[in-house]
Amino acid sequence: MSSKNKCIICGKRAKRYCLSLDDFICSVCCGAERGIKIECSSRCRFFPFAVPGYNLWLQLDGTIIPKLAERVISESGSDHFKEIMELFSDKNKTDELDLEFCFNTAIYHLLMVERDEEGRTLAQRWEEKDWEGLDRGEALMMKYRGKSFVTIIEIQKILDHQRMECIDLFDPEQKPFILLDRSTAPRAVRFTRLFGWLTHYPNFSRPGILQFILPPIIRRDFINEILTRCELDTGRTDEETLKSYMAANLADLIELIWNMPREKMRAIFKNMDTHQCVAEYTLKVPRKEIEEILESKPDFEWTDQEPEEGDPPGTDYYVWHRTGESRELEKEMPESFRHEPGSGQVGMIGNLKISDNSLILETLTKQTYEFARKMLTKYFRNKINFQRERIIDLARQIAEKDINGPERSERQPSPSQKEIPPEVEAELLKNFYRDKYIKFPDEEVPALNGLTPRQAAADPDSRPLLLELIKEHLNGIESMNRKKGFDINIDFALRELGLEELIDSRK
């Protein structure tokens, strides 16, 4: 080391080069003055609040948590601390992550939410005492951490293995910021929404111990519910009031995150046509006559499979497609479920089983069941005789159960599903999404107040609704891509609608 390398502050020997001072500085002066008297560079690896110095931030975080716990327990009492932990405890979990979440969230609550008779938080009172008991680095961390708040953020871009560009949905200007989190970034998907504590530091922001991912089914309704509750409680919905309300009612809002999807799903299932429909017929003619008719119709495809449990030996199975005369049902299907001729995709009506004495029809909706019953009468006339039917409302059964109840064993895929090669599945889904989004710009969409996406894109008042809708679509597609290793994208539709701002620039 050159003898010329002396600390610009104290004159002692120095190894560190300070980007801000454009000179050398010793480790002691660097530790004492960084972020306080020295406005540190965002590129400095010795500054805990710059991305290159993130490992130093993690070290500080490790030393400060025990001191924060000691402070809040000494001020609030261990019994009250346990009461606050209990507020955030999930009764169905006792794992280490849940306990860590309850512990850290209780610290945040007692530091920054509870107030004394004068309306001050513990963090405010502690700051007035210059963060006594903390070293300079920890005190600097608390300068920012003491201003933490609860909010909902939306991931806009994944920059690398630890950085994401995000916006705060309760910030009126929604200025982008960098969220630094090595556990979240590798699994992150664009337009995911996260709810929880957030702290802004110089050059990056950090989430609390655990951020709750908002399920897509409630991503908008949850925000609307917060706005409604806050206005009823305070009469206001400005940013400061909303964030104070969310912090003070965090336990109730976490419970809402668990319960709201369940209630939404119940409502959806109650109005859904998901029925197990079975009609049994006896044959009035030899089985061969029935099979000849089935083989003559493009609607029916024989499948080579072993008899299912309970079926007599020799049972044959047919898949009933929406082709041939059965294509008439397409006119009654929602636009998004229709398949154009030549698209390579065919809709399904149900299944048929035929044995020496019987013909059994199975469908999964009442709409297809009623259509199929009419078609069987048309195709076979007096060759079959209706015996009995069984219709089970599967959607209502699901709606009446506890959707988030005890864990159930996973349903094993059928042999035919297991045999689908990944590349075939990927190609089928690519074709499905291509066809879906070719038609999408000109379909009327209820979420856009009946406008088509093309009309909404051209309407300044409706364009935000379209952007919100497409974000939901993209989040689902990119989640599937990440899970299954696909590369499906709908950029062609985004360009056609003039939504280039939603195209992932990393592609």
The segment(s) of the chain belonging to CATH 2.40.50 are: 148-269
Burial 246-264 (b: 16+ CB within 10 A, else e): bbbbbeebbebeeebbbee
Give me the helices (H) in 280-363, please.
Answer: 287-296
398: number of Cβ within 10 Å: 16
**∠ CA 328-333-336, rounded to 5°:** 125
Whole-number pLDDT of residue 407:
30
Taking a C-beta distance cutoff of 8 angstroms, is the pair 235, 227 a contact? no
Q: What is the dihedral of CA 117, 121, 124, 128, to 10 degrees?
A: 40
Which residue ranges of the chain lie beneath pLDDT 70?
Answer: 1-3, 90-97, 268-273, 329-346, 395-421, 424, 507
Non-local (6+) Cβ contacts of 433 within 8 A are 477, 488, 490
Q: Which residues pair with 359 in a beta bridge?
A: 281, 354
- At residue 57, the 3 state secondary structure works out as helix
Closest CA to 177 of 219, 205, 158: 205
179-223 pLDDT per residue, tens: 999 999 999 999 999 999 999 999 999 998 778 999 988 988 999
What's the Cα-to-Cα distance from 40 to each of 80, 141, 332, 505, rounded to whole Å? 40, 14, 66, 31
Whole-number pLDDT of residue 415:
37
* Residue 392: its H or E element: strand 384-393
- Distance between CA atoms of 322 and 319, rounded to whole angstroms? 10
Closest CA to 478 of 277, 130, 164, 187: 187
Residue with tokens 């300070």: 18
Closest CA to 346 of 323, 317, 329, 320: 323
Architecture of the domain made up of 148-269: Beta Barrel (2.40)
Non-local (6+) Cβ contacts of 163 within 8 A are 51, 178, 179, 180, 185, 204
Q: Which residues pair with 351 in a beta bridge?
A: 319, 362
Whole-number pLDDT of residue 408:
27
Burial class of residue 312 in the structure, from the number of CB atoms within 10 Å of its CB (0-12 exposed, 13-18 middle, 19+ buried): exposed
Whole-number pLDDT of residue 118:
93
Burial class of residue 506 in the structure, from the number of CB atoms within 10 Å of its CB (0-12 exposed, 13-18 middle, 19+ buried): exposed
236: number of Cβ within 10 Å: 12
